[in-house]
Homo-oligomer: A and B are copies of this chain.
């Protein structure tokens, strides 16, 4: 059994080529895309772990370096260009399958070696060759190349996930969600953040993921107030603390991106529980609201409104809800967007389609998508609340904001650091499906942590 074929069916590369061609809105011409090559560390023969160009993977399904692909729109012909392996190289990387076996395995109509790219493409007498702006066009430069139109066509195709892609994403989420639950069960006081990160990576790779989707964040206590904390080297030294784990595995080049926050002791401390409960309510409110034809930015504002209400009740915020919303005060506690498109890339393409711009106000400026939600889009929903010193200092210096914040009460919550809860949601015809299967209710988490604490005492 080979893990890479565990989901078995051929990657729908040709369908992705067809869909991309449709987005181009032309009836002839050739799409031509290149895969990534290996990258070496500077002055070294050590390779960076290979990552395929995301657009190329989408249009080919190939995870090997040095390949290329073309699609002749008028004749509906998908052409794979295979990197030739010399017998010297075969000693190191093995003998590859024949051209025709590779053609069939990847679901293409033709296969040639990459040395023949120019002649094969030229023989199609294309009216236009559509390429991506970051791919080099050198050997084709005598032909009519367009490096502008293709990117939007591919990006828009990637925004809408087909059944194959959704099933891979479900599996990536199951594997990664299960690894998150293992951390919750196994974490003990006295461990180091690095141990949890190592355990997570080990679990997802063992289950067939090819990569850690991004460098995991394992942040205990105050470290959770650093949004992109990847040092992961501090001791888990206080039962009062929570630990925030933002980690996901990449399966067949589709990533998962899951955040869970849970107590190191048997229970949440009162302050941690209060903040956690608000974030969980923000998340569940947004998820329940996810449906076709709604605006993503409204989901962000909805989460902000829940937070504003609850932070007023907690005494952290003061003044009228409308004033607080108008001044984006919650943005000083949640300095990131409510979520982003996700797929082959963690922050997937297509968040700002042509004609939409970022909104430069606190909390909104980091929003990674601003568009109408439609079926087959997959978004993360990841509200968070954080006590970030540099942001709170800014707030204190701005009277219009400071008047809405009780800094004495903030001081009592500062040790919480931050809380984030993140799932991936696919928009369906009627609403949504949550791809992320991992406990997040307070009672479930505390049951797991209480058991972990007992194990420690035994």
Contact = CB atoms under 8 A, between A and B. Distances in A.
A43 B155 CA distance: 10
Contacts of A231: 4
Contacts of A214: 46-47
Interface stretch (A105-113, A389-397, A444-452): A389-397
A388 B94 CA distance: 9
Given A198-B205, A201-B201, A226 B93 contact: yes
Contacts of A201: 198, 201-202, 205
Interface stretch (A50-58, A259-267, A274-282): A50-58
Interface in A164-222: 192, 194-195, 197-208, 214-215
Contacts of A54: 41-44
B2 A234 contact: yes
Contact of A235 (B1, B55, B347, B390): B1
Contacts of A36: 42
Given A201-B202, A203-B198, A206-B198, A53 B46 contact: no
Contacts of A91: 226-227, 335, 388, 390-391
Given A201-B202, A233-B3, A48 B46 contact: no
A205 B202 contact: yes
Nearest to A95: B390
Determine how many copies of this chain the complex contains. 2
Interface in A68-110: 87, 90-95
A49 interface: yes
Nearest to A349: B43
Given A95-B390, A205-B201, A55 B43 contact: yes
Contact of A1 (B93, B192, B206): B192
A52 B44 CA distance: 11
A130 B448 CA distance: 58
A349 B45 CA distance: 10
A49 B51 contact: no
A134 interface: yes
B43 A39 contact: no
A151 interface: yes
A345 interface: yes
B202 A203 contact: yes
Contacts of A198: 201-207
Contact of A194 (B208, B233, B394): B208
Nearest to A393: B87
A267 B192 CA distance: 37
A346 interface: yes
A49 B215 contact: yes
Given A41-B51, A201-B198, A46 B345 contact: yes
Contacts of A151: 43
5 contacts: A41-B54, A43-B132, A195-B206, A202-B203, A202-B206
